[in-house]
A and B are shown apart, each in its own frame.
Chain A
Amino acid sequence: MVRFENVGLRYGMGQEILRDLTFRIEPNSFQFLTGPSGAGKTSLLKLLFLSLKPTRGLITLFGRDTSTLNGDGLSALRRRIGIVFQDFRLLDHMTTYENVALPFRIMGRDERSYRNEVVELLRWVGLGDRMWALPPVLSGGEKQRAAIARAVVARPQLLLADEPTGNVDPSLGQRLLHLFQELNKSGTSIVIATHDIALMDQFDARRLVLHGGRLHLYD
């Protein structure tokens, strides 16, 4: 599904912050991406999400060399990836329902074809009575769940989550991880970036550990 070969990344003329990354993410897999603060977790997620181009090396996503993608090709690949941002990135002028339904809307689908699906997902993540609420009045946990719902509503093949439990209390963090496990069971590959070792210890999953710009794999 995802293949990195000798990938390196530097910002501007600085030194490489990611060096010689070589790994694969298999279909239907579950992995944590971890490492100390500033190790480059978010940068690696951005590479996975095609928000950054590597300075060197080869990235293959769903069988396509990402360096050859044009704008439409990039959009098509992104629709197969769901992403949960650390800062949620919900649109403040839209209701929770409208935020979560956004991936369908940009596909040009008729609202009647997905309304029930979105409502069902919102109820499932516990936002059934917050569907009309605007993001500024949602709590941190509610925003987090809305962001996750938006990332998974179009059933992506790969889900990337950047510190998805960083803004919630431990018990809600655990529940969110259960949610990711359920998604994984339904066929989505999951990559969760976190530095919460206690949380990772509760789940038997592959770990990608970034340290000193290099990646260490613990299967």
Chain B
Amino acid sequence: MAPARKTAAPIAQDTQHRAVEAPLPKMESPIVPHQSIGGRALVAVVAIMTFLAALTTGAVMLVRMNAADWQAEVLREVTIQIRPVDGKVTDKTVDEAVGIVRGFEGISEVRPYSQAESGQLLEPWLGSGLSLDELPVPRVIVVKLDTGSALDVPALRKALTEKVPGISVDDHRGWIDRMRAIADFVMIGGIVVLGLVIAATILSVNFATRGAMAANRPVIEVLHFIGAQDRFIAGQFQRHFLWLGLKGGLIGGAAAILLFALIRPVEAMIRGNAGPEQFAALFGSISLGFNGYLMILAQIVVIAAVASEASRRTVNQTIASI
């Protein structure tokens, strides 16, 4: 071919387009156009959906983590109450109960509340400035257990009730069981919501990818007609859409990670107000931890892979339809 071109050169002569004295051009453009409205919209969709999915994941993980911590904390405590049987409870009775409790293994701390402290516990209901001497106020003993303690609560209860009249032992078991049921319900609800958010993310990313791919049909057709193999075409689009998905995922995921990371410093800044402290007392830690951040990163990769796979399938469908 080349010799024929050199001898003939019919077009070049007639159109006065002479060889130009300029540097040779380079292959710089990607096969798949990078800048497109569909591509930018896809990045936005992926970013928003990744942000929502990451928030949901983080919330579910926080609930799960804190419910477990909180249950373990409550289970490490036993409350003993001595009700006055005839008049009022004397310090002697309390000391006797404390002595019995200390005789059991697996106990780290026994804290008897004084008459005044027991009265303070009633202040929210009875008001302050009330003389408690005239009232049959029960006395409370809080028993802290060692971590992993296997305290024989029925034996403790039996020993105490035999020696101390009007005594009751509460290991919070019934309350914990109810709270555990509520926590499990919240967890299941959270997982269902997370599943729905992830499904919505996959579907919306899938559709957004197909939308972005629609503008690329002419590119697929030309590549197909000049003899590009199907896997070459699919590979070009998969790489491009994997990058778009990662870009959107990183934006959304980073925003969610930043939000979770900022909660603790913000909480520290406003510490002292009743709101945050009550929130922390109720819900415990609001830090995601390594596993939480790992989950968000995994979501970014999965969502990018969804975009990439959707582009591959669209390329194959387009080629089949040509």
Task: Report A's interface with B, CB cutoff 8 A.
Answer: 49, 51, 71-72, 75-79, 81, 83, 85, 89, 91-95, 97-98, 101-103, 105-106, 108, 111, 115-117, 119-121, 123-132, 145, 150, 152, 155, 171-172, 175-176, 178-179, 182-183, 185-186, 188
Pairs across A and B, CB under 8 Å, 12 listed:
A51-B322, A71-B319, A75-B228, A78-B226, A97-B25, A106-B223, A119-B24, A121-B5, A128-B19, A131-B20, A179-B10, A188-B1
B8 interface hit (Cβ, 8 Å): yes
In the bound complex, residues from chain A placing their C-beta under 8 Å from that of B2 are: 117, 120
Asked if A75 contacts B229 (CB within 8 A), the reply is yes
Q: For the A-B complex with A85-B225, A126-B12 known, give 9 more contacts whose Cβ atoms are closer than 8 Å.
A: A51-B225, A77-B227, A93-B33, A98-B25, A105-B31, A106-B226, A123-B12, A124-B6, A179-B11
Number of interface residues of B (CB under 8 A): 42
Known pairs A124-B5, A129-B20; A102 contacts B229 (CB<8 A): no
Q: CA A124 – CA B1 in complex, angstroms?
A: 11
Residues of B near A51 (CB, < 8 A) are 225, 322
Q: Is the CB of B4 within 8 A of A103?
A: no
Nearest neighbor of A70 in chain B, beta-carbon distance: B230
Contact (A120, B17) CB under 8 Å given A83-B225, A93-B33, A103-B227: no
**B27 at interface (Cβ–Cβ under 8 A)?**
yes
Decide if A98 touches B10 in the complex (CB within 8 Å): no
**B86 sits at the interface (CB 8 A):** no
- Which residue from chain A places its CB closest to the CB of B11 in the assembled complex? A126
The answer to whether B17 touches A115 (Cβ under 8 A) is no
* Cα-based distance from A116 to B25 in the complex (angstroms): 10
Contact with A along B1-42 (1 / 0, CB 8 A): 111111011111011111110101111110101010000000
CB-CB under 8 A from B35, the residues of chain A are: 93
Which residues does chain B contribute within 8 Å of A98, judged by CB atoms? 25, 27-29
B222 interface neighbour in A95, A102, A123, A185, Cβ under 8 Å? A102
Q: Are B29 and A178 in contact, CB atoms less than 8 angstroms apart?
A: no
A126, B1: Cβ atoms under 8 Å? no
Taking a contact as CB atoms under 8 Å apart, the answer to whether B15 and A126 are in contact is: yes
Tell me which of B9, B229, B319 has the highest count of chain A C-beta atoms within 10 A of its own C-beta.
B229
Whether A175 and B10, one on each chain, are in contact in the complex, defined by CB atoms closer than 8 angstroms, is yes
Cβ B29 vs Cβ A124 within 8 A: no
Please tell me if the beta carbons of A124 and B12 are within 8 angstroms of each other in the complex.
yes
- Tell me if B175 counts as interface (CB < 8 A to partner A): no
Query: A109 to nearest B CB, angstroms?
Result: 11
Q: Which residue of B lies closest to A184 (CB)?
A: B4
Tell me if B232 is interfacial: C-beta within 8 Å of chain A. Answer: yes
Closest 10 CB pairs of A and B: A79-B227, A78-B227, A126-B15, A126-B17, A93-B33, A106-B228, A97-B25, A126-B11, A186-B4, A124-B5
Q: Which chain A residue lies CB-closest to B9?
A: A124
Residues of B within 8 A of A150 (CB): 226
Give the docked Cα–Cα distance between A132 and B29 (Å).
11
Q: Which residues of A contact B229 (CB under 8 A)?
A: 71-72, 75, 106
**B17:A93 contact, CB within 8 angstroms:** no
A218→B8 CA distance, assembly (Å): 29
Contact with A along B216-228 (1 / 0, CB 8 A): 0011011101111
Distance between Cα atoms of A176 and B11 in the complex (Å): 7
> What chain A residues lie within 8 Å of B18 (beta carbons)?
123, 128-129
Determine whether the beta carbon of B4 is less than 8 Å from that of A127.
no
Distance A116 CA – B26 CA, assembled complex (angstroms): 11
The answer for the CA separation of A79 and B218 in the assembled complex, in Å, is 18
Complex Cα distance A104/B5, Å? 19
Task: Name the B residues within 8 Å of A124 (CB-CB).
Answer: 5-6, 8-9, 11-12
Q: What separation, in Å, do the CA atoms of A115 and B19 have in the docked complex?
A: 15
| With known contacts A78-B225, A106-B232, A119–B9 Cβ distance under 8 A | no
A89 engages B11 (CB within 8 Å): no
Partner of A152, one of B1, B3, B27: B1
Could you say which residues of chain A place their CB within 8 Å of the CB of B29? 93-95, 98
In contact, B14 and A175 (Cβ under 8 angstroms): yes
Closest B residue, CB atoms, query A78: B227
